[in-house]
Amino acid sequence: MTDEAAPGEAGTRELRARRLDETDPLPTLRAEFLIPPAPGGPYEEAAYFAGNSLGLQPKATAARLAEELTDWSRLGVEGHTQARRPWVSYHELLTEPAARLVGALPHEVVAMNSLTVNLHLLMASFYRPSGERTRIVIEDSAFPSDSYAVASQAVHHGLDPAETVVRLRPRPGEDNLRTEDVVDYLRREGNRVALLMLGGVNYLTGQLMDMATITRAGRAAGAVVGWDLAHAAGNVPLSLHDWDVDFAAWCTYKYLNSGPGAVAGAFVHERHVRDTTLPRLSGWWSTRADIRFRMDPEVAHPPTADAWALSNPPIMALAPVLVSLEIFDRVGMTALRAKSERLTAYLAERLAPIGGVRVITPDDPAQRGTQLSLRVADAGGLVKALADEAGVIADAREPDVVRLAPVPLYCTFHDCHRAAEALAKLT
């Protein structure tokens, strides 16, 4: 518990936060988003720190959806070719901005399905256990969906997940994996690793992995390297093509603000998209667009990531993703990353003197994204109190982690001030 501040100190801290907002090189885009009302406390709007779980709605989204509904109402089936954004090729509108977002070439990315569906489709192609090379390596604190997915892939190949899935753990007493320990494991055991698939940013701790170094080590060991970018896409700059990543997948409802359960994305390196020997699970949308409506009985895969798509995409679900990608194109990941570092540095500074709170996210800005994870005594109770008493929306990962994500598109230094003040009073 911190000592009670003198009456003027809180005002001075608030004034500093306001000035940081006024003078920041990247003014907030908060006005372009719908901010929820504060559940409690003295402010009308919430200080929203849960964008690493579900991003806020851009105001432009409703109008874009209305356009698609209007085209459907006036055109019916002809909207596939005559809508203002023809539906039959709608997903192609997302290709180039998605490629820019993740550092890929346009023919290496596709918007489709949901994150775990995409991981399964990609593992169907790239997890090919053979001989002693059967292991799948993930981090011990991987999101449960990844754990379930890789275990089921092992079972699908007739293998025992307990022997096949390797979960890399931090050193005793530490919260985060060290890059050198991942590399050392691959150096020692790489001949047994068929697939290395880590989270680019760990959902629990907020640690940003050194994806370039780890990818290089994994490929040198002869393993396929895939990345779950659920907490990395729209959060940190990515260079999937240049890093020589084999495959990756990401969701779009967190930092990409595309709505609950929004259509996800996938990346396949160009050295694979033209490889006709790769096994793939196929559907109508897996075949070349120029001959799709010939209704041929045999698939003809295009030399792009579209070859991993299965079905015609849901237009009403793609429209919010396109709106989001347009925002990211306009602002740019370089500027967003710089502001993210300023916001998290300020928040970390404010949290440092608070008793009962321990930040488990790495101190080094190069090893974290837009998230600070706090180890506390009662995560669920604290998150409820933050909302009810201060209008600060965070999330809990039981039993003892509270996550705060000052998303640079709509979070402010003043939001960070509100969170720190509330935590000081509640812990």
Binding-site residues, in ranges, read 115-116, 143-146, 228, 231, 253, 284, 312
- Measured CA to CA, the distance from residue 130 to residue 11 in angstroms comes to 64
3-state secondary structure of 268: strand
Yes or no: say if 360 and 397 are a contact pair by the CB < 8 Å rule.
no
3-state secondary structure of 310: coil
Say which amino acid occupies 319. Answer: A
Cα separation of the two ends of the chain: 6
- Measured CA to CA, the distance from residue 43 to residue 6 in angstroms comes to 22
3-state secondary structure of 306: helix
- Measured CA to CA, the distance from residue 410 to residue 361 in angstroms comes to 21
- Measured CA to CA, the distance from residue 291 to residue 33 in angstroms comes to 41
- Cβ-count burial 365-388 (b if 16+ within 10 Å, e if not): eebbbbbbbbbbebbeebbebbbe
- DSSP labels for 151-199? HHHHHHTT--HHHHEEEE-PPTT-SS--HHHHHHHHHHHGGGEEEEEEE
Structure tokens at 258: 């595309």
Reported residue count of the chain is 427
- Measured CA to CA, the distance from residue 403 to residue 394 in angstroms comes to 6
Q: Which residues are annotated as a binding site for pyridoxal 5'-phosphate?
A: 115-116, 143-146, 228, 231, 253, 284, 312
- Measured CA to CA, the distance from residue 203 to residue 201 in angstroms comes to 6
Say which amino acid occupies 113. Answer: N
